[in-house]
Each structure stands twice: as C-alpha cells, then as structure tokens.
Amino acid sequence: MDFAYESLPLFETFQTDRRWPIAPAAPASFTDAVRDFRQFGQPSAELTEGGIPYLINEFWTSGQRQAHSIHEVSYRACFKAQLPAFFIQHLTKPGDAVYDPFMGRGTTPVQAALMGRRPVGNDVNPLSVLLTRPRLTVPSLTEVARRLDQVGWNDADTEDPALLAFYSPQTLRHITALRTWLMERAPIDNTPDPVDDWIRMVAINRLTGHSPGFFSVYTLPPNQAVSAQSQRKINEQRGQTPPDRDVKKIILKKSTSLMSDGPVPRHPAAILTTSPAQATPAIQSASVSLVVTSPPFLDIVQYAEDNWLRSWFAGIDVATVRIAQHRTEMAWQNMVHDTLAELARIVKPGGHVAFEVGEVRGGKVLLERLVWEAAASLPFDRLFVMVNQQAFTKTANCWGVRNNAKGTNTNRIVVLRRRAD
Ligand SMILES: C[S@@+](CC[C@H](N)C(=O)[O-])C[C@H]1O[C@@H](n2cnc3c(N)ncnc32)[C@H](O)[C@@H]1O
C-alpha cells in the first residue's frame, strides 16, 4: 500500500466562527489544499491510497451541535445535517447559494436556510420538494391547528380497501379525506399555501411506522413502506389489527416536535427543481458557491418502491418518476461524470463540491475512487477525499480496502474546487 500514515491527536473540529478564506486561485498542490483545510481541525491521519489523498478525522460528530429539530423527517439514505453544516460553515458566507442536486428529504437546502444561505435543491422525485419546501417557510402551530379544524374528516371519497392492512376503517377514512382535501387545495405542481404544504409534509411522515405516533398499525419505519400484502403477513405474525388513530392529534404533535428548536431564520429565496441532476436548466450558470450532495449508491436503495405509500398520499404517479438504477460501476460512474459536468456549469469559479458516497457491497466497491476518476477531465481541482470517522480507534479501517468491519461509521466525501478556466 502506498500511503504515508501520520498519527496526530484528535482536534476540536466544529468551530463556530471560523470561515474558510476562499483562495483567490486554485491551490498549487495537494499540500496547499491540506494546509487550508487544516484550519478546520487537524486531520488525525493523512494518507495516499491508490493515488488519492485522504484526510481522516472526526471533523464533526453527531453529538456535537445537535441538528435542528426541523430536520427530523425520515428518508432512506439521508445524511445527517452535521455534514452539510460543516461545509456550509467553512466554505460559504451568508447569502451564498448552496445546492444539492440529489436532495432527498432536503437536508442540504434546509441546513442552508438555517444558516442564512440561499437554499437550492433538486431531486428527480417530486416527493423531495414536498418534504423540503414546507420546512423553508414554516407556519405557526396555531395556523396549523386552525387549518386542521377546517378539514371535513369524514368526507372521504372511495377508500382503497388494500390500505386496511395498515389502517383501521376510521383512520383510513380520515387519511383519505385529508388526502382529497389537500389535492384539491394544494395540487403538487402549484406553489401552495404554506400551511397546507406543511400539513401534507407532516402527514407524509406519519403514514406508517412502528409506534402509536404514526397513523398505521406496527410496520417498518416510515421511509420503507412494505406492500399491503407483506403488511397482512406482518399483521398475522404479530396477531395485530390496525387500531384507530387520531390523525389530527398526531399531525399536531409531530409539528410541535419539528418546530421545537425555534423558527427557521430569514434566508434568500429558495430554488427547488425536479430534473435529472445531469440536466438542470432552471439553475443558472456560475450561481452556486457550494454543492453538498450524496447520489444514489449503485442500485442499493429502491427509492420509488420504498416511497409508494407516500407517493399515493401526495398524488405522485411513481411510474412517471425516472429514478434510474445503476447496476454496474461503469453505468454509475457515467451518471456521476454527467452530474459533475453539470455542476461545473453551475458552480462559481473558486466554489466547492463536497460529494459524499457510502460504503457499499461490504467495502469491496470504493465509490469515492469512481467519483475521483469521473472528475478527472472536468474543470475541477480534485482536492482530497475527506473521511469523517466517528471513532478514532477505527482509523486503521477507514479507507475501505479492508473495511469489512461492521459498525464502522464513516462518511467519505470527495472534495473538489471549481477552477477559473
Ligand atoms: C442518497 S439519496 C439523497 C439523500 C439526501 N442527501 C438527504 O439527506 O436526504 C439520493 C437521492 O437521489 C435521487 N435521485 C436518483 N436519481 C436521480 C437523478 N438522476 N437526478 C436527481 N435525483 C436523483 C433519489 O430520488 C434520492 O432522493
């Protein structure tokens, strides 16, 4: 292995007031870039593996600076808010645009708004806009309560009997009434009233889950809805019948919890779109200072299937959502290349891209290498792969070649800087 390993003490990393001084020109070398990034906290290890420089440290922790309660919306393969917060804090200033082309539940744009930056987000699935937009314009709890009082809770149109696997007849009637009411008042392709938009977002998050805080009987977590047939089997195995739930009370309780850390401060107007990340004409060239993103990892997560019930509630036809699955590494790398080419158009010279990838297939596929190679021909300086490692003692495992250890919890982030050419 051709790496130089240096063991350095852990360092206080998440400093509040420090800002990344945007270098006037691209760094002459990796050494310069590392020196710049050391201002954020000294890496506990630096190494070069397969020709790629890695910086390894506990740059942020989940415990440090708890994420704002407004983030508590579940979504498959979402990252923690601490990740975008770290890069936003150090690489941008208030008013700058921060973008995620694969925004999922919207962790990056929501965190950007919390930090007074312009939130810019895209996801090919319109469900992402429904999860993100309401948390950028949060109504008051009183407005939500008043609006819920206006719903005709028993005015349900035809109910889908298959859904009785999840809900009692009365709960299903109330959910269906709310769905119809929202579809009439707040069609998904319009800009709706923020109170209606909020209620839909919360309801989407309470449809199914494993506690009485959800509308359903016990089932899988809310971001992974099983089919009605599988749910009937779960019911049989557990000897359970869906109980009546108070839909309005559950929505209010979750709203209270989401808002418990206080309001989202004023921020520049958001831009949210639903294009493939590779072609986003609604986002202007050279308009973004920082991208923090995490693409789908090969074909690991079935976003459309996992979200079928949420899509039903929102009125999204999943068959029309073009979420591509990339079974081969080459197909995935091509998608990443095309996305980075689009980001080269959108990111300002001197701006950054932090591109997070997960560990897949037991560490046998190192996605960060595929990203590194995909960026080679594009107008980016490839700075390094930053590895945020939760426990220092696991450092020896973190670059993945032998990283089959269960429980090793790392984020690997390819960090790029847009060149001026
Ligand atoms: C790993 S998740 C992102 C999660 C996000 N970081 C968060 O914190 O919620 C990947 C997202 O990419 C979206 N997606 C898949 N293919 C896409 C494409 N070609 N263009 C845009 N979005 C896509 C999926 O719908 C999914 O929401």
Judge whether residue 42 has pLDDT over 70: no
- Which H/E stretch holds residue 384? strand 380-389
Q: Are 417 and 352 in contact (CB under 8 A)?
A: yes
Give the Å distance between the CA of 104 and the centre of ligand 1: 5
pLDDT at 373 (0 to 100)? 96
The one-letter amino acid code at 73 reads: V
**Given ligand 1 and candidates 123, 131, 283, which is best to mutate, with the most ligand atoms within 8 Å of its CB?**
123
Give the Å distance between the CA of 123 and the centre of ligand 1: 6
Q: What is the mean pLDDT of the chain?
A: 84
The one-letter amino acid code at 55 reads: L
Burial degree of 355 (CB within 10 A; 0-12, 13-18, 19+)? buried
Q: Is the CB of 129 under 6 A from ligand 1?
A: no
Q: Is the CB of 43 under 6 A from ligand 1?
A: no
- Cα 421 from chain centroid? 31
Q: Is the CB of 296 under 6 A from ligand 1?
A: yes
Give the Å distance between the CA of 344 and the centre of ligand 1: 19
More confident residue, 401 or 326: 326
More confident residue, 388 or 92: 92
pLDDT at 144 (0 to 100)? 98
The dihedrals phi and psi of 236, each to the nearest 5 degrees, come to -65, -50
pLDDT at 284 (0 to 100)? 98
Which atom belonging to ligand 1 lies closest to the Cα atom of 321?
A: 25
More confident residue, 98 or 391: 98
Q: Is the CB of 354 under 6 A from ligand 1?
A: no
Which atom belonging to ligand 1 lies closest to the Cα atom of 125?
A: 25
**Given ligand 1 and candidates 74, 82, 102, 293, which is best to mutate, with the most ligand atoms within 8 Å of its CB?**
102
At which residue do the structure tokens 């950054």 appear? 352
pLDDT at 347 (0 to 100)? 98
Atom 10 (ligand 1) nearest CA: 296
Q: Is the CB of 324 under 6 A from ligand 1?
A: yes
Judge whether residue 23 has pLDDT over 90: no
Average pLDDT over residues 54-71: 79
pTM: 0.88
Distant-in-sequence, close-in-space partners of 222: CB < 8 Å, separation ≥ 6: 74, 205, 206, 207, 208, 209, 214
Query: Cα torsion at 295, 301, 302, 303 (round to 10°)?
Result: -50
Give the Å distance between the CA of 304 and the centre of ligand 1: 11
Q: For 32-41, 153-162, 228-237, which range has the lowest pLDDT when averaged over its residues? A: 32-41
Q: Is the CB of 81 under 6 A from ligand 1?
A: no
Q: Are 157 and 231 in contact (CB under 8 A)?
A: no
Q: Are 141 and 258 in contact (CB under 8 A)?
A: no
Q: Is the CB of 125 under 6 A from ligand 1?
A: yes
Confidence of residue 220 (pLDDT cuts 50, 70, 90): confident
Q: What is the DSSP letter of 20?
A: -
- Count of CB atoms within 10 A of residue 74's CB? 13
The neighbouring-strand residues paired with 385 are 54, 414
Report which of 11, 192, 27, 91 is spatially closest to residue 413, judged by C-alpha positions.
91
Give the Å distance between the CA of 145 and the centre of ligand 1: 32
Judge whether residue 321 has pLDDT over 60: yes
**Given ligand 1 and candidates 87, 124, 339, which is best to mutate, with the most ligand atoms within 8 Å of its CB?**
124
Residues in the chain: 421
The neighbouring-strand residues paired with 355 are 293, 414
Give the Å distance between the CA of 299 and the centre of ligand 1: 12
Atom 3 (ligand 1) nearest CA: 104
Q: Is the CB of 123 under 6 A from ligand 1?
A: yes
pLDDT at 111 (0 to 100)? 97
> Which alpha helices (DSSP H) does 307-394 contain, by range?
308-314, 329-346, 367-374
Average pLDDT over residues 35-41: 65
- Which H/E stretch holds residue 55? strand 52-57
Atom 8 (ligand 1) nearest CA: 78
pLDDT at 9 (0 to 100)? 25
**Given ligand 1 and candidates 129, 320, 323, which is best to mutate, with the most ligand atoms within 8 Å of its CB?**
323
Give the separation between CA 223 and CA 101, rounded to whole angstroms: 20
The dihedrals phi and psi of 49, each to the nearest 5 degrees, come to -130, 120
The dihedrals phi and psi of 268, each to the nearest 5 degrees, come to -60, 155
Judge whether residue 227 has pLDDT over 80: yes
Atom 7 (ligand 1) nearest CA: 78
Average pLDDT over residues 129-148: 97
Atom 27 (ligand 1) nearest CA: 104
Distant-in-sequence, close-in-space partners of 171: CB < 8 Å, separation ≥ 6: 215, 242, 243, 244, 245, 247
> Which alpha helices (DSSP H) does 155-302 contain, by range?
169-185, 194-206, 228-238, 247-258
Give whole-number Cα distances, 251 to 65, 126, 205, 246, in Å. Answer: 27, 22, 9, 9
pLDDT at 27 (0 to 100)? 43
CB half-sphere exposure, 323, CA atoms < 13 A = 25
Q: Is the CB of 77 under 6 A from ligand 1?
A: yes
- Beta 45-49 vs 118-122: how paired, if at all? unpaired
Residues 239-285 have pLDDT tens digits of 999 999 999 999 999 999 999 999 999 999 999 999 999 999 999 99
The dihedrals phi and psi of 97, each to the nearest 5 degrees, come to -90, 135
Residues 334-379 have pLDDT tens digits of 999 999 999 999 999 999 999 999 776 666 668 899 999 999 999 9
Confidence of residue 311 (pLDDT cuts 50, 70, 90): very high
Q: Is the CB of 107 under 6 A from ligand 1?
A: yes
